[in-house]
Amino acid sequence: MAEISNLNIIQVKNLSKHVAVNDNDLHILRDIGFAVKSGESIAIVGASGSGKSTLLSLLAGLDSPSKGEIYLDGEPIHQFNEEQRAQLRGKSVGFIFQAFMLVQSLTALENVMLPAELAGKDNAKQMAEELLERVGLGDRTAHFPNQLSGGEQQRVAIARAFITKPKILFADEPSANLDGKNGHMIEDLLFELNEQYGTTLVLVTHDDKLAGRCQRILRMCDGELTEAEQGKQSNVV
């Protein structure tokens, strides 16, 4: 069981995002504020189009906010440029996407190695092999993404997300593209590894059942975020 410290690994203040669409300002996120403790797992739920992915992209430093402050692992990423954000992402953040986002021309093994290689780690290959073994694809290391099923691809993506031992893992609808059985398998795997590595998890989903496996649930509605009922944590503690 991951230990939750009192340290806020994510801290968001007055966060807004709006974009110009056909000369109109589209307000996607309005004045959002919340904090996530280190080791905590939170779910962001909400209807499609409510702004969940947008929030995730800002938290993970994939995009920059229109207004407000975001502190990730103590760093003011709202003041960072793309270069600094990339560095932070490589060091502290892992990702899992609905569309898997594997590099098609790299094998499963190479895909898993990728973040470690980009970060200049020496033992990338060994770590990647271990992780692939861990997600049950030890015998598929040399396969390319298009030779793997959707569920298998997502398992590769999970292995890739953990190779840098990130402090925070962002997952955007990780099982939405998969059928029920595969989806559940992925979810199980995700939570298992998360626990094992003691990672902070931010999970975006529209699936309330999945959200229920997290310790906290935040609900996104028309660009505004509200703290929902307590999740798993309340049952355990």
Partner 1 sequence: MWFKLALRLFKRELGRGELTIIAIAITLAVLSVFSLSSVSSRIQDSILQKSASFIAADRVLQSANALADDYFADAPLDGLKQARQITFSSMVFYNDELQLAGVKAVTESNPLRGQLVLSDTSFGKQTRLKGAPPRGEVWVSRRVIDVLDIAVGNELEVGAAKFKVSGVLIEEPDSGFNPFNQNPRVMMNYADVPMTEVIQPGSRITYRYLFAGEEEKVKALTDWVEPQLLDNQRWYGVKDRQSPVTSALERAESFLLLAGLLGVILAAVAIAVAAQRYCQRHYDPVAIFKTLGASSKQVRQIYVTHLIFLTLMSVVAGLIIGYAIQSVVFEMIKEFLPKPLPELGAKPFVMAIVTGVSCSMMFSLYPLLQLFNIPPLRVLRRNEGDKVKNNWGYLIASGLTVFLLMWGYSQSLKISAILFAVGATMIVILLLLSRLFVNAGRAIGVRPSNPFHLAMASIKRRVRANSVQLITFTIAIHLLLSLSILKNDIIGEWQNQLPKGAPNHFLANVTKAELTEVNQLLKQQNIHTEGLFPIVRGRLVNVDEERLIQFVSKEKEDKSDAGGRQGIGRELNMTWRSDLPLGNEIIEGQWLKPDSLGEVSVEAKVAERMKIKLGSELTFLIGAQEYKAKVTSLRTVDWNTMQPNFFMIFSDDVLADFPATYITSFHVSDKQKQPLNKFLRDYPTIMVIEVGAIIGQIQSTIDQVSIAIEFVLLIVVIAGVLVLTAQVQASIEERQQEIVILRTLGAKGSLIKNAVMLEFLMIGVIAGVMATIATEILLAVLQTQMFSMDMAIHWDIWWMGPVIGGVFVASIGLLSTMKLLTRNTSEMLRSVNM
Residue from the set 7, 26, 118, 221 that interacts with partner 1 by CB under 8 A: 118
216 is a contact residue toward partner 1 (CB under 8 A): no
Residue 87 touches which member of partner 1, ligand ADP, Mg ion, none, C-beta under 5-8 Å by kind: partner 1
Quickly tell me which residue has 């015998």 as its tokens: 139
d(C-alpha 229, C-alpha 217), whole Å? 7
Q: Which stretch binds partner 1 (CB under 8 A): 24-32, 81-89, 129-137, 219-227?
A: 81-89
d(C-alpha 41, C-alpha 32), whole Å? 19
Contact indicator for 23, 197 with CB cutoff of 8 Å: no
Contact indicator for 54, 29 with CB cutoff of 8 Å: yes
- In 3-state terms, what secondary structure has residue 78? helix
Q: Which stretch binds partner 1 (CB under 8 A): 26-34, 107-115, 194-202, 219-227?
A: 107-115
Q: Which of residues 153-212 bind partner 1 (CB under 8 A)?
A: 153, 160, 164, 172
**H or E stretch at 206:** none
Sequence-ordered alpha helix ranges (H) in the chain: 52-59, 82-92, 108-118, 124-134, 150-162, 180-197, 208-211, 232-236
Residue 180 touches which member of Mg ion, ligand ADP, partner 1, none, C-beta under 5-8 Å by kind: none
Interface contacts to Mg ion, rule CB under 5 A? 53
Interface contacts to partner 1, rule CB under 8 A? 53, 56-57, 62-63, 82-83, 86-87, 89-91, 93, 95, 97, 99-106, 110, 114-115, 117-120, 145-146, 150, 153, 160, 164, 172
Interface contacts to ligand ADP, rule CB under 6 A? 19, 21, 26, 28, 46, 48-54
